[in-house]
């Protein structure tokens, strides 16, 4: 850890305490992470919704390892709604909490069938009313599948937003408010999908560079504008 921090300081040119310019961050992350897309494999909105619900407390890589069999055996909400819980639990068992995850996605499928004719609604309130779906999941699906501009605040987006000085808060809803306000103040965030692609790129950057325990400031394209360089 000590070695890593020394490297950060050598590379540091900011650390001013001033929030990073949101437009500049968006532009640099766009150059670095050109293809902004979710790393959850999916072929339609239902698969994206189910995969996103399954991704709670695990990684996208692990989810991608179980969804091919899951979607092959129960290929639509009608099939999943009728599935035997123990059979689904066995398929999602590698993610941990197999029975809980199985109940969650079966209930979700039942909600889709009974309330939305097996379709994923492009409606924030309707999505959040479904079992297991919160604001972040609804934003992921509406942003990545339906093309809306929505910030999905997960652990990476929250951490980077705090390190970049855009917020000091930890509640995801408050983080979202602060980041959206920051983007508007810095003259970005107005275009279609802008918040969606920003959150996808912040997630990629959080996984690959600005990691929770050992941020690689010396390799970071934001190093000259980050108030937390070497301090995170
Ligand atoms: S790795 Fe994180 S803390 Fe370090 S400069 Fe980049 S954004 Fe800032």
205: closest CA among 192, 187, 223, 188?
A: 223
Is 26 or 231 the better-scoring residue by pLDDT? 26
Q: Are residues 81 and 21 in the same domain?
A: no
User: How confident is the model at residue 194, as a pLDDT?
Assistant: 87
Nearest to 143 by CA among 215, 36, 64: 36
Contacts with 197 (C-beta within 8 Å, 6 or more apart), sequence order: 30, 36
Residue 230 belongs to some domain of the structure? no
Residues 6+ apart with CB under 8 A from 164: 19, 20, 25, 222, 226, 227, 228
* Co-location of 125 and 180 in the same domain: no
pLDDT mean across residues, the chain = 90
- Distance, in Å, from the CA atom of 191 to the CA atom of 40, rounded to the nearest integer, reads 24
Give me the pLDDT at residue 35, please: 85
State which ligand 1 atom lies nearest to the alpha carbon of 8: 4
Residue 122 has φ and ψ, to the nearest 5°, of -90, 65
The residue among 32, 4, 21, 27 whose CA lies nearest residue 232 is 4
Task: Decide if pLDDT at 217 tops 70.
Answer: yes
Residues 134 and 83 grouped into a single domain = yes
Rounded to a whole number, what is the largest CA-CA distance in the chain? 59
Asked whether residue 11 carries a pLDDT value surpassing 50, the answer given is: no
In a domain, 200, yes or no: yes
Give the per-residue pLDDT at 82: 98
Residue 231 lies in a domain: no
Q: Has 136 been annotated as catalytic?
A: yes
Residues 49 and 140 in one domain: yes
Q: Which domain holds residue 134?
A: 45-144
User: What is the CATH classification number for the domain harbouring 78?
Assistant: 1.10.340.30
Candidates 215, 218, 221: which one to mutate for ligand 1, based on the most atoms within 8 Å of Cβ? Answer: 215
Place of tokens 């209930």: 107
- The residue among 93, 113, 144 that closes a domain is 144
Number of domains observed in the structure of the chain: 2
- State the pLDDT at residue 184: 84
Whether residue 74 sits in one domain with residue 30: no
202 pocket-lining for ligand 1 (C-beta < 6 Å)? no
- Do residues 101 and 54 make contact, with C-beta atoms less than 8 angstroms apart? yes
Residue 220 assigned as binding residue:
yes
Residue 217 labelled as part of a binding site: yes
* Domain contains 25: yes
**How far, in Å, CA of 183 to CA of 56, rounded?**
27
Which residue, of 119, 144, 169, is where some domain finishes?
144
> What is the model's pLDDT at position 10?
33
216 lines ligand 1 (CB under 6 A): yes
Q: Which of 31, 136, 174, 224 is catalytic?
A: 136
- Among 122, 144, 166, which residue terminates a domain? 144
**C-alpha span between 169 and 22 (Å, rounded):** 17
- The arithmetic mean of pLDDT across residues 22-47, rounded, is 93
pLDDT of residue 189: 54
By C-alpha distance, which of 126, 118, 149 is closest to 46?
A: 118
Whether residue 227 lies inside any domain: the answer is no
Residue 21: which CATH number? 1.10.1670.10
* 224 assigned to some structural domain: no
The reply to whether 51 and 22 lie within a common domain is no
- pLDDT, tens digit (0-9, with 9 covering 90-100), for 74-97: 999 999 999 999 999 999 999 999
Domain assignment present for 228: no
């Amino acid at each position: 850890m000590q070695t890593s921090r020394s490297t950060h300081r050598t590379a540091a040119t900011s650390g001013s305490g001033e929030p990073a310019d949101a437009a500049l961050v968006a532009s640099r992350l766009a150059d670095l992470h050109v293809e902004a897309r979710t790393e959850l494999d999916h072929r339609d909105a239902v698969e994206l919704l189910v995969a996103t619900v399954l991704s709670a407390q695990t990684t996208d890589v692990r989810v991608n390892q179980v969804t091919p069999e899951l979607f092959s055996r129960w290929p639509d909400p009608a099939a999943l709604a009728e599935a035997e819980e123990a059979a689904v639990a066995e398929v999602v068992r590698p993610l941990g909490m197999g029975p809980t995850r199985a109940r969650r996605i079966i209930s979700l499928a039942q909600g889709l069938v009974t309330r939305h004719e097996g379709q994923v609604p492009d409606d924030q309130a309707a999505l959040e009313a479904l079992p297991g779906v919160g604001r972040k999941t609804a934003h992921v699906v509406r942003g990545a599948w339906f093309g809306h501009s929505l910030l999905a605040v997960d652990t990476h987006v929250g951490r980077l937003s705090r390190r970049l000085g855009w917020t000091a808060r930890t509640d995801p809803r408050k983080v979202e408010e602060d980041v959206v306000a920051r983007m508007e103040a810095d003259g970005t965030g107005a275009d279609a999908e802008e918040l969606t692609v920003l959150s996808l790129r912040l997630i990629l950057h959080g996984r690959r560079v600005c990691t929770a325990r050992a941020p690689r400031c010396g390799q970071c394209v934001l190093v000259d504008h980050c108030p937390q360089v070497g301090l995170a």
